Amino acid sequence: MRPRTFLAVAVAVLVAAPGCAAIPVDPEGTLERASGGVLRVGMSEHEPWTALDDGERSGVEVRLIEEFAAGRDADVEWQDGGEESLIEQLHRGELDVVVGGLTEKTPWVDAAALTRPYVVVTGPDGSPEPHVMAARRGENALLVALERFLLEHEAAVADELDGERP
C-alpha cells in the first residue's frame, strides 16, 4: 500500500471510530430520556401476563417492566388499551414499550420492534408460545437494554410460569 493511500485509510478509520462507540443508538433518545425519568408503557390486559383490578396492576410483565424501570431509576407511566391502539401510540412515539402477553406470532410484527422471546409456554392448542415485548422501531438502545434485562430474568419467569427458557 502506498504511503498516501495508507494515510487516507488511517484517517478515515480514526474519524469513523468515535461514532462507532455509541452503538446501539436511539434516534429519539428513548433510553436516555427514560433513565432517571419516565418509561411510557402501554398495557393490554392478558392474564397471567398483565392484569388490572381496582386500579392495581399485576402480572408477570407488569413486574418485569417495573423492575426494568427501577433499574434505570425511572418511573412507569402506564397507558391501558387494546393492542391496536397501543401499537399505534408506540408507532407515533407516544409510548416506549407495549406489553400484554404478546407472542412471536403477533400481527404487530411489522409495526413494532419485538424483543427476543424471554419465555416459552404451552399454548391452549398444546403448541409452544414464545413470549415477547414490543418497543418502538429504531430505538435500538432501549430494545437492547430491555432484552438484556429479560435475558437476566428468563429463568425466574420460566419457573414462575412453568415455562421454558428460549
Among residues 91, 83, 85, 129, which one has the least CA distance to residue 110? 91
Q: What is the pLDDT of residues 110-146, one digit of tens each?
A: 999 999 999 999 988 999 999 999 999 999 999 999 9
Q: Report the pLDDT value the prediction gives residue 140, as an integer from 0 to 100.
A: 95
- Look-up of cell digits 418497543: 135
Q: In the predicted model, is pLDDT for residue 14 greater than 60?
A: no
User: Rounded to two decimals, what is the model's pTM?
Assistant: 0.84
Q: In the predicted model, is pLDDT for residue 8 greater than 60?
A: no
CB neighbours of residue 24 within 10 Å? 12
Contact in structure between 146 and 67 (CB atoms under 8 Å): no
Q: Which of 102-111, 133-142, 155-164 has the lowest mean pLDDT?
A: 155-164
Cα–Cα dist 150/112, whole Å: 18
**69-102-58 Cα angle (round to 5):** 50
* % of the chain residues with pLDDT over 70: 87
User: What domains are defined for the chain?
Assistant: 27-161 (3.40.190.10)
